[in-house]
Amino acid sequence: MVIQMSDHITVLKEEAISYLNVHPNGIYVDATLGGGGHSEGILTRLKDGHLYAFDQDTEAIKRATSRLEQFANITIIQDNFVNLKARLEEYAIDGIDGILFDLGVSSFQFDTPERGFSYQFDHRLDMRMNQNESLSAYQIINTYSEPDLAKIIFQYGEEPFARIIARQIVRKRLEKPIETTLELVDVIKQSLPEKVLRKKGHPAKQTFQALRIAVNDELGVLRMALKDAVSLLSPGGRIVTISFHSLEDRICKQLFRELSSDLTPKDVMILPSERPILSLITKHVITPSEGEILANNRAKSAKLRAAEKTR
């Protein structure tokens, strides 16, 4: 099959559904509906159970609604998953049997030029997941101070030339605003030494990643949402995360380890209520197979982790 630019290929679909351990009558949450692939996998395994799916992107919801129209037991909620606990309370849901976070940006978001996510297409800088929000990449690039820009690019993009790139951005925007994705790419290229430009990979990748994270507060939102998700899980319920860069994976890894660690000496008896909250299902990170990466190159950085609620 020839994959069109706008096609979204679900990453680690079978692995994610397997680790979620879907029960036919359970209550599940897909915190990141996206293209609807994971939701479809969950729904095909449900009988009298129900799925609540979150997404803040209107276009994603439109596409997924069409894909999942044959299923009656799904409720799609247009909101950021940071609000999942409050939104589920509206449906009298205070306990769930499983939740999935697929933290990747959908392919159609990258491949739609007017969304301003990609360094491959020329369009106005944007990068908002929720297009009703006011903060965009354009505003960050053209209004933030040089130190703040450097901090964002270094912390969220892990870009070693962050200070130089920030300095060049500020210089260029004094001449005229930096309005489009390719204008920003040119500024980034002008900031980097030739030996870096000759390396494999796009020179703007890390800066664009940093801007997307900053625009959508992805890391702060993720920390809060993961904690709320764990609190919502019923005993035996599972949480599965799929991340696509080290910063997201680090947050998932640290929280899972923190909540699954038992620091009590082995010869000391403890009450059930003192046991760790989580038990790790995946002792080591799960990555896509070579076959999946060959079929979908965007899967190569995916990392899956899973844990189960113990009490």
Residue that terminates a domain, selected from 188, 216, 244:
216
List helix spans (H) across the chain. Answer: 13-20, 37-43, 58-67, 84-89, 107-110, 137-143, 146-157, 162-175, 181-191, 194-197, 205-216, 218-232, 246-260, 290-295
What was the pLDDT predicted at 152? 98
What was the pLDDT predicted at 164? 98
DSSP code, position 272: G
Are residues 18 and 36 both part of a single domain?
A: yes
Are residues 176 and 258 both part of a single domain?
A: no
Are residues 93 and 71 both part of a single domain?
A: yes
C-alpha torsion sign, points 289, 210, 215, 225: positive
Q: Give me the CATH number covering residue 42.
A: 3.40.50.150
Q: Which residues of 265-303 are buried (b: 16+ CB within 10 A; e: fewer)?
A: eeeeeeeeeeebbbbbbbeeebbbeeebbeebebbebbb
What was the pLDDT predicted at 3? 35
Q: Using one digit for the tens of pLDDT, what is the confidence trace for 246-285? A: 999 999 999 999 999 875 555 555 555 578 999 999 999 9
Are residues 194 and 212 both part of a single domain?
A: yes
Q: Does 2 reside within a domain? A: no
Domain that holds residue 175: 115-216
User: What is the spatial distance between Cα 282 and Cα 287, in angstroms, rounded to a whole number?
Assistant: 11
Are residues 119 and 183 both part of a single domain?
A: yes
Are residues 119 and 208 both part of a single domain?
A: yes
What was the pLDDT predicted at 273? 58
Decide: 188 and 137 in contact? Cβ < 8 Å. no
- Whether residue 104 is predicted with pLDDT greater than 60 in this model: the reply is yes
What was the pLDDT predicted at 4? 38
Are residues 203 and 66 both part of a single domain?
A: no
Q: Does 7 reside within a domain? A: no
Q: Using one digit for the tens of pLDDT, what is the confidence trace for 157-197? A: 999 999 999 999 999 999 999 999 999 999 999 999 999 99
Name the pLDDT band for 45 (thresholds 50, 70, 90): very high
Of the ranges 102-106, 270-274, 287-291, the best mean pLDDT one: 287-291
Are residues 300 and 238 both part of a single domain?
A: yes
Are residues 85 and 46 both part of a single domain?
A: yes
Q: What is the domain count for the chain?
A: 2
Residue that terminates a domain, selected from 216, 237, 264:
216
What was the pLDDT predicted at 271? 56
Are residues 166 and 18 both part of a single domain?
A: no
Q: Give me the CATH number covering residue 210.
A: 1.10.150.170
Q: Using one digit for the tens of pLDDT, what is the confidence trace for 107-134? A: 667 677 778 788 888 999 999 988 889 9
pLDDT averaged over every residue in the chain: 91
Q: Does 4 reside within a domain? A: no
What was the pLDDT predicted at 5? 38
Residue that terminates a domain, selected from 216, 248, 272:
216
Q: Does 300 reside within a domain? A: yes
Q: What global pTM score does this model have?
A: 0.89
Q: Does 3 reside within a domain? A: no
Are residues 210 and 229 both part of a single domain?
A: no
Q: Does 1 reside within a domain? A: no
Are residues 197 and 136 both part of a single domain?
A: yes
